Amino acid sequence: MAKRVAPDRAAAVEGTSDPVSGALKIVPRQYYCIDERGQPVPQTSSTEMIERMLRLLEVEGGRHVLEIGTGSGFSTALLSHLVGSDGAVFSIDVDPEMTERAAQLLQMAGHTNVLLSAGDGRDGWFAHAPFDRLVAWAAAVAVPRAWREQTRIGAILVVPMRRHGQAWVSRYRRGQRGALIEEARAPGNFIPLTATPLRPWKSADARP
């Protein structure tokens, strides 16, 4: 990976009491979403969509969050700020090279409350369950059973859905015995949740 300057996580944010807006002002999107050749990283949702979904997620300090789809690491960095030093973010991506890139950038930026893994996000991350929040950046036909079983009672799950040609984002609340109660819907169209990468990432050095 080409050398790049890590952002200053201690930068002050004035004039806002909104955690999501504050995180968006602190975390530099370009650091994560532009590759070593100056090209956009395709594995990243728009800032507007990320903001919308993080607001639905209602992340608070001290929470443990499971993220399905690390991508560039931009949303992971935002979650890291939102949970604070008392919380933790556990992020899974199906693409090993993409995961490695994001892990390097997050480490360089000083995010010590995040843990990344390459694997099938549909299986969740049992070793670190239960989670207070879950957010996915790929669309499911149905919420995987593992996600229900690995979240606490009262947990919020924000999941893109795709069914019968329709796409949207659902916010669920985890009830008793694993039941999920849909509380809200928002517009959103995401790539499908799969066991293998749809568009495998290649580092700039590996590209022709």
46 is catalytic: no
Q: Of residues 45, 72, 75, 91, which has the active-site annotation? A: 45
Taking each helix axis from N to C end, the angle separating 74-83 and 47-57, rounded to the nearest 10 degrees, works out to 30
Q: Alpha helices, DSSP H only, in the chain? A: 19-26, 29-33, 47-57, 74-83, 96-108, 145-149
b/e per residue, 6-45, with b = 16+ CB within 10 A? ebeeeeeeeeeeebbebbbbbbbeebbbbbeeeeebebbb
Report the side by side order of strands in the sheet with 114-118. 114-118, 88-93, 64-68, 131-136, 151-163, 166-174, 180-186
Show which residues are catalytic. 45
